[in-house]
Amino acid sequence: MPPLIIKPDKQALPNDTIWQAIWDNVNLGLILVDQTGRVRQWNDWVAKRSGIPAKSAEGHTLESLFQDELNPPFKSALKNSLTHRLPVVLSNALHRSPLPLFPWPVTERQQTRIQQSIAITPLTGGADEHFCLIQITDTSISIKRERVLKLHSEQLSIDANTDALTGAHNRRYFDERYKIEFNRAQRQGTPLSLLMLDIDFFKDYNDNYGHPAGDKVLIAVVAAIKSQLNRATDVVTRYGGEEFAVILPDCEAPENHAMAEKLRRAVSNLNIPHCKSKITGTVTLSIGITTLECDAKCSADRLLETADTALYEAKHAGRNRVNYLGAAE
């Protein structure tokens, strides 16, 4: 890209007053430096964000004007542009704040430099004079907007995978995560345990105490379950109304039985009154367990069916208990 040319024929240009108005009212910083690196002019945008009037800047180098040290890549880029007359762009992605410019109005209080994108363009004037035009764009607002959009997107993703009532992961998340963990277990030859949990006689609880009270029970049960899961990879999901599923990667049969007992006791220890329970006077859990062993030949659907069968057997054996059923059985 050849250097731009400043035409000396001012008859073809608007008068100086209009050019100065344009220069000072564009919404970006403009600094014109000569071939010695001294400022010939900068606009009102730079004056406001540096705290240095344009008249005070003229005839000085950028390094002498700013108390804070200039960004080394910026100094190198300006030198190369002046020497070799090649355009340079310093993107915000790699060079966040090359120049010590601050949000306007600049105050004496400690401020953080604005995020910047800088373009340095070589210019050629009359009498073989060479200049560089430094254009500075404030990218702080767009970066903040991107950050807000990213956080919003992340929150939407969380909301899409979370049960609004209990805070547990929802069925959609279970389906996706279970498939991932099952495939990983088969690929790496590691065990995978699956627990299906059901609150005993929950319909009777709702009928007697009302749905708002039932909602509180669901929230308390999930909190109790979460309190017993120590690994980040252990996942609790709300599988159905009062039914929950827990995925335990890298967990074999003896360990998953111990974990299931911990979950059952944690809910029992809540001592939530349940006068309609046919086994105790409090809210309890029935739990079915199965495990994909390292050398097992079992499909994901089969493993899920086995866990559900184990839960069914636990409920029909008296409830408030843990029942294990091997995936190959």
Say if residues 165 and 241 touch (Cβ distance below 8 Å): no
Beta strand pairing call for 116-124 and 130-138: antiparallel
Tokens of 38: 């001294």
The pLDDT tens digits for 29-59 are 999 999 899 999 999 999 999 989 999 999 9
* Phi/psi at 273 (5° precision): -60, 135
Say if residues 243 and 176 touch (Cβ distance below 8 Å): no
Winning range, highest mean pLDDT, from 11-25, 154-168, 194-208, 245-259: 194-208
Give the chain's domains with CATH numbers.
4-145 (3.30.450.20), 161-324 (3.30.70.270)
**Residue 38 and residue 173: Cα distance in Å, rounded?**
61
Q: What is the pLDDT of residue 128?
A: 74
Any bridge partners for residue 192, and if so which? 249, 292
Residue 124 has pLDDT above 90, yes or no: no
140: pLDDT confidence band, cut at 50, 70 and 90? confident
Tally of helices (H runs) and strands (E runs) in the chain = 11, 11
Q: Which residue has the tokens 């190959």?
A: 328
Say if residues 144 and 88 touch (Cβ distance below 8 Å): no
**Taken in order 260, 312, 308, 171, is the CA torsion positive or negative?**
negative
**Residue 284 and residue 320: Cα distance in Å, rounded?**
6
1: pLDDT confidence band, cut at 50, 70 and 90? very low
Q: What is the pLDDT of residue 276?
A: 94
What mean pLDDT, rounded, does the chain reach?
A: 87
Q: Which of 70-74, 162-166, 205-209 has the lowest mean pLDDT?
A: 70-74
Question: Which candidate, 98, 96, 76, places its Cα nearest to that of 88?
Answer: 76
Expressed in angstroms, the distance from the first to the final Cα of the chain is 74
109: pLDDT confidence band, cut at 50, 70 and 90? low
Say if residues 229 and 255 touch (Cβ distance below 8 Å): no
| Catalytic residue numbers, as ranges | 242
Residue 8 has pLDDT above 60, yes or no: no
Residue 296 has pLDDT above 70, yes or no: no
Residue 3 has pLDDT above 50, yes or no: no
pTM greater than the 0.75 cutoff: no
Q: What is the pLDDT of residue 108?
A: 59
Question: Which candidate, 328, 241, 242, places its Cα nearest to that of 286?
Answer: 242
Residue 161 has pLDDT above 60, yes or no: yes
The pLDDT tens digits for 298-321 are 899 999 999 999 999 999 999 999
| Percentage of the chain lying above the pLDDT 90 cut | 58
| Identity of the residue numbered 160 | A
**Cis peptide leading into residue 103 (ω within 30°):** no
Say if residues 238 and 221 touch (Cβ distance below 8 Å): no
105: pLDDT confidence band, cut at 50, 70 and 90? confident
Residue scoring higher pLDDT (21 or 186): 186
